[in-house]
Amino acid sequence: MSKFISPLKIFSGAGVLSEVIGEIQYYHASKVMIYADPGIIQVGIVKRLENILKENEIAYDLFSEVVPEPPLIIANKAVDTLRKCDADLVIGIGGGSSLDIAKTAAVLSQHEGKVEDYLNLTGTKKLLHKGLPKILIPTTSGTGAEVTDIAVFSLETTKDVITDPLLLADTAIVDPELTYSLPPRITAATGVDALTHAIEAYTSVNASPLTDTLALDAIERIAQNIRTAVWHGTNIEARTELSLGSLHAGLSFYNAGVAGVHALAYPLGGLFKIPHGESNAVLLPYIFDYIWPSCVEKMKRVAKALGVYSSNMTDREAAIATVQGLYHMVQDVGIPTSLKEFGIKESDINQLTEDAFKQTRLLGRSPKPYGINDIRTIYERSLRGELQLGR
C-alpha cells in the first residue's frame, strides 16, 4: 500500500505567476493577504505580484515581517494580523519561511489559540479544517515548502513544526522567472537541499513507485543543471530545470520522507546556525558513504541520473561513484565540503551526535540503521573531509 498527497493544483513554467489572478477569481476572494520577507520585497519580486493584483483591481494587505526560520512571536503576529483583517485568501511568496508562515496563518486564523498550541511535540490542540484558501509561490528552487504540509518554527534552542495535510496549498505556482536573481551561494544551497530531498526520498524505506519516479527525475534535472544555474544565474533553461527538479523533489520527499542527512543537519542549524541547505550539502556525501551498501541497486540508478555511471562499472563501483559524484557536486557549486570549514571542532561532535540521535523519526526512514557511534563517526569524517569510498 502506498499513499500520495499533493496540493490541489500546481502551475509550473516561466511566466506562470500571472495565473494567480485566475486562482483568486476561482476562490471568489475579495481581498488577499500576502506574506513575504523584507529581502524578497527589496529585490522587487513582491512588486511584480502587487502590480498584477493592482492591474486586476484586487485589494490586498502585505505582511512583510517574515524572517528565516521564524520564531513563534513572528508566527503569532502573522496569525493575529490575518484575524484582524478582512482578507479571504492568503498568498505566501518567498523562501520556505514565507510559505510556512502563510500556510500557518491561513489555517490558524480560522482556529482558536496560538501557534504553540498546535506544535508537533508540545501542542495540545488539533486542526479541524483547512481555513482560508492558500496560494504558495516559491522564489527559490529548493525547500519544496509549496507542496508540503510542514511549517517549521524556531524555539529557544531547538525547532518544532506544525504538520497536517490541512496546511497544504490549494494552489502552488512555481515560476522559474522568480529565481533568476538569486545569488550563487543561495542557488547552490537550495539546489543541493532539493537534490538531498530527492535522493533521501528515493532511498527512504517509505519510498513508492510514484515517489521513485519523481525523485529520479528530480536528481537528473538538478544534477545536470545546478552548476550552470549557480554560476550563470540568468541561464533560463538551467533555472527552469532546477525549478522543476525542486518541485518534483518536494512532491517526492513530502510523501516518502527525508532521513539521515536531514537528521544530522538539524543540529548544525540549531547549534551553529548553518543555513539548512548548506548543512545538508556538507553532510550529503558522508551520509551516502555510510549507507550505500544498504541500497546498491538504487545507488546505481542514482549514478545514472547524476551522469557518473559507465557501462563497465560493477554495481558496487557505481554506488561508490555516486558518493564521489555527490562530493564533486557540493564542491563545484562552492559549498564547503568539510565541517571544519564551518568552524566546527572535534569538541563539538559529542553534542552534535547526541542531538542528531534524537531525530528518530528521520533516522527511522534510512535504509541502513544508525547507532549512536555510527553518527559520531559520520560527523568525525565530515569534520576532517574523509570519504571511505568502500575502502
In the complex, the smallest distance separating the C-beta of residue 285 from Fe ion, rounded to whole angstroms, is 16
Distance, CA of 116 to CA of 288 (rounded, Å): 35
Q: What's the closest the beta carbon of residue 263 comes to Fe ion, in angstroms? A: 11
Q: CB–CB of 279/268 below 8 Å?
A: yes
Q: Which stretch binds Fe ion (CB under 5 A): 193-201, 281-289, 304-312, 343-351?
A: 193-201
Alpha helices by DSSP H, the chain: 20-26, 38-42, 45-55, 72-83, 96-108, 184-203, 209-231, 236-256, 260-272, 276-291, 296-306, 315-332, 349-357, 360-363, 372-384
Q: Which is nearer to Fe ion, 193 or 374 (CB)?
A: 193
Task: Choose, by CB under 5 A, the member of 37, 160, 175, 193 that binds Fe ion.
Answer: 193
* Closest CB to Fe ion among residues 225, 279: 279
Q: Residues near 48 by Cβ (< 8 Å), separated by ≥ 6? A: 17, 178
Rounded to whole angstroms, the Cα distance separating 315 from 293 reads 10
Q: Is 146 in the site for Fe ion (CB under 5 A)?
A: no
Minimal distance, residue 249 CB to Fe ion, in Å: 9
Stretch that binds Fe ion, among 79-87, 99-107, 187-195, 233-241 (CB under 5 A): 187-195
The one segment of 62-70, 171-179, 185-193, 202-210 that binds Fe ion by CB under 5 A: 185-193
Q: How far is the CB of 97 from Fe ion (least distance, A)?
A: 13
* Closer residue to Fe ion, CB minimum distance, 143 or 225: 143
Cβ distance to Fe ion smaller for residue 20 or 362: 362
Residue closer to Fe ion by CB (options 111, 262) is 262
Ramachandran assignment for 350, one of left (phi > 0), alpha (psi -120 to 50 degrees), beta (any other):
alpha
Contact range with Fe ion by CB under 5 A, out of 158-166, 189-197, 241-249, 331-339: 189-197
Regarding beta strands 59-63 and 9-12, do their DSSP bridges make them parallel or antiparallel, or are they unpaired? unpaired
CB of 193 to Fe ion, least distance (A): 4
Grid coordinates standing for 183? 545569488
CA separation for the pair 181, 140 (Å, rounded): 10
**Structural Rg of the chain based on CA atoms:** 20
For Fe ion, the binding residues in 225-264 under the rule CB under 5 A are none
End-to-end CA distance of the chain: 38
Helix (H, G, I), strand (E, B) or coil at 63: strand
Q: Minimum CB separation from Fe ion for residue 279, in Å?
A: 9
Stretch that binds Fe ion, among 96-104, 105-113, 191-199, 357-365 (CB under 5 A): 191-199
Q: Is residue 278 within the footprint of Fe ion (CB under 5 A)? A: no
Q: How far is the CB of 194 from Fe ion (least distance, A)?
A: 8
Binding site for Fe ion (CB under 5 A): 193
